Structure 1
Amino acid sequence: MLFGLLQKPQTNVQGEIRAFETIAYNGRKYTLKDAQKSGLSATLGELKNGEPIILAEGYATGATLHENAGKKAVVISFGKNGLLDTAKSLRERYPDSKIYIGADNDHAQQINAGLIDAKAVEKLCQTLMFCYHSSIKAIKAKIGMMYLLIKALMSSNVN
């Protein structure tokens, strides 16, 4: 028996399991070698056309948003270009839903892939975008942005 491992199923937009991501006790992530890599996600809550959807990059961010946004539906994207691939699928399947982005601001990296992906999704889906800082020093900014997202979702003028 293995201890200290977390396995997360990764599904396509139809809900079919296509891969697993394993996170070890030390934080390292592993995926199945020959499994599908693009367009995979995990969903927390129930998706309904016309209801708001939070699209998050990474499981920890997605689970936190789900818990703090009144159990609103959250779709968690995985992998390179995961936000964009998942957003395209969601937009096709849920055309009347507003999509809110909880993206990583990878400001410490030479190429800020999280922010680049989020901006591409914003243009594609005409969404409201909220960025989350990935550094521990920016935790107050992360909490502040999460509060704004929750407030926007709970306001009466938002689907």
Structure 2
Amino acid sequence: MTDLDTVNLIRLVALRALEAAPHLLKEWLPEGRANGREWVARNDVRGDRQPGSFGVSIDSGRWNDFADDRAHGGDLVSLLAYLHGCRQVEAAQKIDHRLNLGLFASRGADMQHLEQQKHAAESARLAANRRDQERLQQKHRDAANQAAKLWQMAKAADRQHAYLLAKQVPPFSLRQLSQGRLLIPLCSDGRLVNLQIINGHGTKRFLRGGRVQGCYSPLGRISDGCRLYICEGWATGATLHAHTGSPVVCAMNAGNLKPVAIAMRERYGQTIELVIAGDDDQETPGNPGRAAANRAANAADALVVFPEWPASAPVELSDFNDLHLWRNGRRETQS
């Protein structure tokens, strides 16, 4: 069998697997749940503690982890290969056996018939992708409209809000709803498209269906010749803005650093000095914060900085806000 035949079989298995997608996803990601036409689960490959950033389309098989820009694929074969750490041909054979498709067993069978099946399944996949895209765009529009309404009805954030006190940062331009819900704006090309909502206990959530990838929360005014910092979380950005006076855009997670950095470079060109202020996840295998920051810096021709830890600083600290809090706590202890 030629390499081309093998590729065609893998594609066909991926397309046929869509017919059993709900059952397969329950088996592969048993702790997940259906959210509309998407299966949302923890990503055990990178040790997720809770679901939220890892999702699989039940209709098209497309999957993505917004917290890791290397974790994405276009079908269920690539998903199983990712989850099992195997080659795609091995994943396709597992699915072929699980669903009793018999496609790999009939390697010498009529390839013309297989081609017909592949084209029919490919047409179904393209139609599912179009429906996925249309639903996603509608979700984005609905979330942006909801964000605008909530932002309009909210008031200026209370400086004594529990989250702001815990992070020792001012509210800057944040707003607040009833029951102490902080609103952090997420923008795209300067337009409000989503909100991160933080309650009094520090629990965070985005609006359902809202855009996150490539979006950012701005602090300060960006002007020609300025230094613009890009970081992960809002509290880290607020710390940087308060200490440097420079504008900051917060990408909200490590996987979004690279898309935001590229967007800032495309929007402002070389008129700004771009600096990625990365997290340093010292205790996490592979240090995902440092790795994501370096990838973003390389992609956007930017500088990169990390917290400089004193020798006595605990290793569980990871970002600039952690360093800020530790230094203040150490001063209070010594005073």
Normalising by structure 1, what TM-score?
A: 0.77
Say whether residues 1:137 and 2:311 are aligned partners: no
Question: 1:59: which partner in 2?
Answer: 234
2:212 alignment partner AA: K
Question: 1:155: which partner in 2?
Answer: none
Q: Distance in 1 between matches of 2:251 and 2:275?
A: 13
Q: Distance in 2 between matches of 1:50 and 1:121?
A: 20
Distance 1:9 1:34, change over 3 A: same
Structure 2 unaligned blocks of 5 or more = 1-176, 325-335
Percent identity, aligned pairs only, is 26
Q: Distance in 2 between matches of 1:55 and 1:79?
A: 11
Shift of 1:81: 1.6
Q: Which has the higher contact order (CA 8 A, sep 6+)?
A: 1
Coordinate RMSD, CA, aligned: 2.6
Question: 2:257: which partner in 1?
Answer: 83
- What do residues 99-138 of structure 1 show as CA deviations (whole Å, max 9, x unaligned)? 112111122223432111101012122322112389x725
Q: Distance in 2 between matches of 1:112 and 1:72?
A: 27
If each structure's helix is expressed as a fraction of its own residues, which one has the higher value? Answer: 2
Question: 1:11: which partner in 2?
Answer: 187
1:74 alignment partner AA: V
Partner residue of 1:21 out of 196, 216, 239: 196
If each structure's strand is expressed as a fraction of its own residues, which one has the higher value? Answer: 1
Question: 1:95: which partner in 2?
Answer: 269
Shift of 1:41: 0.5
Question: 1:45: which partner in 2?
Answer: 220
Aligned residues: 141
What secondary structure does 2:304 align onto?
Answer: strand
Superposed structure 1 runs of 4+ greater than 4 Å apart: none
Normalising by structure 2, what TM-score?
A: 0.38
Shift of 1:44: 1.1
Say whether residues 1:33 and 2:216 are aligned partners: no
Indicate the structure (1 or 2) with the bigger Cα radius of gyration.
2
